[in-house]
Amino acid sequence: MAVSDQRLRHDGRREPCGHERAHITDSLFHGGGYATQESRRIFCDRCRLQRWLRVEAALTSCQERLGMVAPGTAAEVARAGEPGRIDLAALAPEFRRTGHSLVPLLRGLEGACEGTAGEMVHLGATTQDIQDTAQSLEMREVLAEVDAGVRTMAAVLADLAVEHRESQMPGRTHGQPALPITFGLKVAGWLDELLRHAERLGQLRPRVLTAQLSGGVGTMAGFGGRGRELLELFAEELGLGVPMVGWHAARDRVAEFGTALAMLTGTLARIADEIRVLSRPEVGEVSEGWQYGRVGSSTMPHKRNPERSAQVVLLARLARSHAALGIESMVQEHERDSRGLRMEWVAVADVSHYTLAALGTLNDVLAGLRVDSGRMAANTRAAAESLCTEAVMLALTPSIGRQSAHALVYELSQRARSDGTRLRDCLLADATVTKWLSATDVDALLDPSRYLGEAQELTDLPVDRARRWLAATGPAEPRRPGPAPAEGSLS
């Protein structure tokens, strides 16, 4: 056994090491934070090769329907390609020896066929036809899982927005108190953004999920003049779209897939990071659910860190970086270029792992989210004067003009803050203010509950839209590790 196949023990001796789990998504210890059970199933080595066999079987089936191969060929190819018929693990040395990404599998399929059926496998096709088509099937499975996670999240956010439709809290800009809002409106903003992603994901499907079957350089020369007819049957059998021309070198479809997922994770990260920030003890407005046994620090026993929210932010960063590889793959040379294709194998798998892990993690956070509306109200009261300066300014505007009112309230509010005095006292000590506003007026203007604008009505809009969409596309799947497949576009 080579040294590289061994690991060093604490005593300096070496012992066998299988190297089965080298990627973070497969780690026994950390993999659960970077991938889901379903994402690992979709991109498992054996599942990927099995998907290639499925595409080959579909091709032969369609060719038999058109009389391009002898009757009975398709059934035999399908039988030979069934799981367990070919020892996929045994093909690994051949992949390394030949340096080809498909030929060893084709030879294994041919060997598993009885009679001469194996001789007709892959007729007229090129390797990338099979692998691109299989990748479209992979992306379709990922999108089904994403749909399920988005639906679950939309339902939870809609309920949360309604529950806190009247829960007042400080609105903040640039990290500072700004104007009063409700937590329901904040959540409705998250929901509104999520619904746009649902819409995008529905719209990209017909563009992105297409078959590939155009031969070595896109001319379909190997199909005896029946290429378009064959492609349409092939795409129909696999439930994929029919491209106008081959897309071996046109990788915008795959780039759009990765970009859409990265954008989705950006929204998930925005939500998660807001939860992280609002859970700081000095803010204390929300917190992740906590169970006994979770450990925040090896040295500070009191810690309850918002680890899962932070993980979502991390996953979004990883998803963005791998989506960029999809953009990079768009630069292709001539009619085919394996450099871009093989980069996509990394990009598509990893952006999918990270997106599904982020969805699952944030759904867990939201399901157990603890909202302290009492603390929100207390924080609002504590910052009330800062939150209501616009209200005072606008109340003075009809009498002295907007610009003059801004300048006056600016001077008084900045003086109050610098001197550590109450804004109310500064307002009531100013002759211009008291000329137009009474003490009762000032007290009313400095009450945040009177300056929520249309927050409640605005909260209702995305909630209503989400519930119409969820009702039109079927009931939300029950939450579980590795969301169940579910499809549906936003209406």
Q: Residues with catalytic annotation?
A: 174, 297
Instruction: Tell the burial category of 265 from Cβ atoms under 10 Å away from its Cβ (0-12, 13-18, 19+).
Output: buried
150's enclosing H/E stretch is: helix 127-163
For residues 205 and 64, what is the distance between their CA atoms, to the nearest angstrom?
29
Q: Which two tokens stand for residue 286?
A: 């929300």
Whose CA is closest to 83, among 58, 44, 103, 54? 54
Any bridge partners for residue 176, and if so which? 173
Instruction: Tell the burial category of 467 from Cβ atoms under 10 Å away from its Cβ (0-12, 13-18, 19+).
Output: middle
CB-based contacts of 243, cutoff 8 Å, min separation 6: 210, 211, 212, 231
Whose CA is closest to 18, among 5, 31, 28? 5
Q: Which two tokens stand for residue 44?
A: 């498992």
Q: What CA–CA distances, in Å, run from 51 to 82, 100, 125, 140, 362?
A: 10, 17, 16, 12, 30
For residues 211 and 205, what is the distance between their CA atoms, to the nearest angstrom?
12
376's enclosing H/E stretch is: helix 373-382
The neighbour count for residue 383, using CB atoms within 10 Å, is: 19
Backbone angles phi, psi at 215, to 5 degrees: 80, -175
Q: Which two tokens stand for residue 221?
A: 């020369």
371's enclosing H/E stretch is: strand 370-371
264, 146 contact by CB (below 8 A): yes
CA count, 13 A, side-chain hemisphere, 117: 24
Whose CA is closest to 373, among 188, 212, 168, 190? 168
For residues 324 and 23, what is the distance between their CA atoms, to the nearest angstrom?
20
Long-range Cβ contacts of 293-298 (<8 Å, 24+ apart) = none
